[in-house]
Amino acid sequence: MTKIFERPLYPYARHPDQDAVSPVRHKVVIIGAGPVGLAAAIDLAQRGVPVVVLDENDRVSFGSRAICFAKRTLEILDRLGCGDVTTAKGVTWDQGRVFFDEREIYNVHLLPEDGHKRPAFINLQQYYFEQFLVERAQALIAEGAPLEIRGRNRVEAIGSHPDHVRLEIETPEGPYALHAEWLIACDGANSPSRRMMGLDFVGRVFEDNFLIADVIMQADFPTERWFWFDPPFNRGQSALLHKQPDNVWRIDLQLGWDIDREAEKRPERVIPRLKAMLGEDVEFELEWVSIYTFQCRRMERFRHGRVIFAGDAAHQVSPFGARGANSGLQDVDNLCWKLARVIKGQSPDWLIDTYDWERVYGADENILNSTRSTEFITPKSEISRVFRDAVLDLAETQEFARPLVNSGRLSVPCTYDEGPLNGPDCAAMPERTRPGAPMPDAPLGDGWLLDQIGPGFTLLAIDADLPDSPALSDVVRLKATRAQAPILAERYAGQSASAVYLVRPDQHVCARWQSFDPNAIASALAQATGQNRGASHD
């Protein structure tokens, strides 16, 4: 049977742009049909913004690559129209176990509260994740959405101008050029776009290597995240085990720094390592093998004129913690509603600059957490290792030590504290739903809160009136009472008798009050849409 990553999903076809006398101008061009580029294309197309995706390949990624997708990513996929199929295919999990040597020192529950539509995490091979996004994009195209995916269109040169970007593109039938009013570079960690523009990362590359092996096998391990420090099958190093669909298991093995990377990927080196871990009698088949190095780096800025970087093209973190693809989807979630408003003339150009502020802030948070994980997993001195091992010993019996154990702080969405779009706060309400925070889901009526947050701005009221106001005519309104929705009220009103929230299109809180004040809300809406600031970009 031909596997999904072995067949073209968006094969090359000659486009009229290739025969145009002068370059055709497009509103938005996206480079890269990975998870981030496809999600951005779907988001923009659903907002009525014409978008063209260019990719040098014509099929989804080989190997599972990113496998661990967080609750927030699944909520974003719900808005994009493919949350159900992705969740259904994925392996759901919310338990993590940590081992030191041969001992389990503790386990953790990642979503201890009820009242959420989506689980804490699913494991899913990246090729399935991309397949579902491609199929969603193709369904939109069939419905007439302004979206194209051009396979085997490799961008060779980028020329940045004040009002557009020029692209030189190579295809199986020769080169052509086109113009983009906006370019989103989603072409991965080795981003050719970044290189063509003479841009680079700042940050750290850690002196360690890790083997990734996707193994097909029948096994009775539970559906949990298992992490080992100093296991008997990989002495002095670490290991990680995850279950994926189709009886595929992800195994990460720390190898150290001074290795022959190509030699370590050969089956004759990989198989003995896996047998030492799994047992000599366990039958398995290698599906994919790779070697990676911990990197915690980002671009200084994610916006450069009319070129915007997202996902791994903009930032890199070590994979422990599942912060790569998940943070890339949060980039898309942050960017696309802003770009759509600017393109439609609803907001000034400055609104795009807030993408840079907020997602650089998010990248720095991810890099900080990832760096701390890396330093705990791979101590760089003997005293650091002694400290690490003492913490692990204590954690087996002493609860106070468990927060110090860092096998990869798992991905959570970023709260944009002091962000440029935040409005007034109300200290009487819960901290978790303060301005800048992503909205926690909750049951509402016969469905879920986040499913009812519109593509624009939303007012959410709990035991408060929402009278008509001409200045807020385009804002979706949701009302609930504490009696009707107690979980919602607990998460959003807390001890306050009533609450009114202004919510952004990306389901982050703009501002909150105890009662409806049309002038205050209109002012916060102007702040959140960039109306209170002038245009500024390089």
* pLDDT tens-digit readout, 344-378: 999 999 999 999 999 999 999 888 887 887 788 88
Q: Are 166 and 44 spatial neighbours (Cβ–Cβ below 8 Å)?
A: no
Q: Are 150 and 293 spatial neighbours (Cβ–Cβ below 8 Å)?
A: no
Rounded to whole angstroms, the Cα distance separating 124 from 92 reads 9
Residue that wins the pLDDT comparison between 107 and 505 = 505
pLDDT tens profile 134-180: 999 999 999 999 999 999 999 999 999 999 999 999 999 999 999 99
Percent of the chain residues past pLDDT 90, beyond the cut: 76
The arithmetic mean of pLDDT across residues 369-389, rounded, is 85
Q: Which of 222, 212, 243 lies closest to 104, judged by CA?
A: 222
β-strand 447-448 against 51-55: which pairing, if any? unpaired
Interacting residues of 202 by C-beta distance below 8 A, sequence separation 6+: 297, 298, 299, 300
Range of lowest pLDDT (108-117, 140-149, 161-170, 528-537): 528-537
Rounded to whole angstroms, the Cα distance separating 516 from 277 reads 60
End-to-end CA, the chain:
51
Confidence at 462, pLDDT banded by 50, 70, 90: very high
Q: Which CATH class is domain 431-528?
A: alpha beta
- E strands in 375-490: 443-444, 447-448, 458-462, 476-480
Largest CA distance in the chain: 74
Rounded to whole angstroms, the Cα distance separating 181 from 106 reads 53
For domain 4-93+122-201+298-366, which CATH number applies: 3.50.50.60, 3.40.50.11290, 3.40.250.10, 3.30.420.130? Answer: 3.50.50.60
Rounded to whole angstroms, the Cα distance separating 521 from 498 reads 16
Rounded to whole angstroms, the Cα distance separating 462 from 439 reads 15
Q: Which of 155-169, 226-240, 379-393, 519-533 has the highest mean pLDDT?
A: 155-169
| Three-class SS state of 126 | helix
Q: Are 492 and 481 spatial neighbours (Cβ–Cβ below 8 Å)?
A: no
Confidence at 64, pLDDT banded by 50, 70, 90: low
Q: Which of 474, 208, 451 lies closest to 341, judged by CA?
A: 474
Q: Are 341 and 347 spatial neighbours (Cβ–Cβ below 8 Å)?
A: yes
Q: Are 77 and 86 spatial neighbours (Cβ–Cβ below 8 Å)?
A: yes
| Three-class SS state of 367 | helix
Q: What is the pLDDT of residue 405?
A: 85
Range of lowest pLDDT (10-24, 90-104, 416-430): 90-104
DSSP string, 465-481: -----GGGTTSEEEEE-
Tell whether the model's pLDDT for residue 538 goes beyond 50: no
Confidence at 408, pLDDT banded by 50, 70, 90: low
Interacting residues of 208 by C-beta distance below 8 A, sequence separation 6+: 254, 255, 256, 257, 293, 294, 374, 378
Q: Where are the domains of the chain?
A: 4-93+122-201+298-366, 431-528
The arithmetic mean of pLDDT across residues 318-338, rounded, is 87
Instruction: Report pTM.
Output: 0.94
Q: Report the mean per-residue pLDDT for the chain.
A: 92
Q: Which of 96, 391, 407, 100 lies closest to 235, judged by CA?
A: 100
Confidence at 320, pLDDT banded by 50, 70, 90: low
Tell whether the model's pLDDT for residue 509 goes beyond 70: yes
Q: Are 260 and 266 spatial neighbours (Cβ–Cβ below 8 Å)?
A: no
Tell whether the model's pLDDT for residue 313 goes beyond 70: yes
Interacting residues of 20 by C-beta distance below 8 A, sequence separation 6+: 176
Tell whether the model's pLDDT for residue 534 goes beyond 50: no
Q: What is the pLDDT of residue 96?
A: 87
Confidence at 217, pLDDT banded by 50, 70, 90: very high
Tell whether the model's pLDDT for residue 202 goes beyond 80: yes
Range of lowest pLDDT (177-191, 284-298, 405-419, 420-434): 405-419
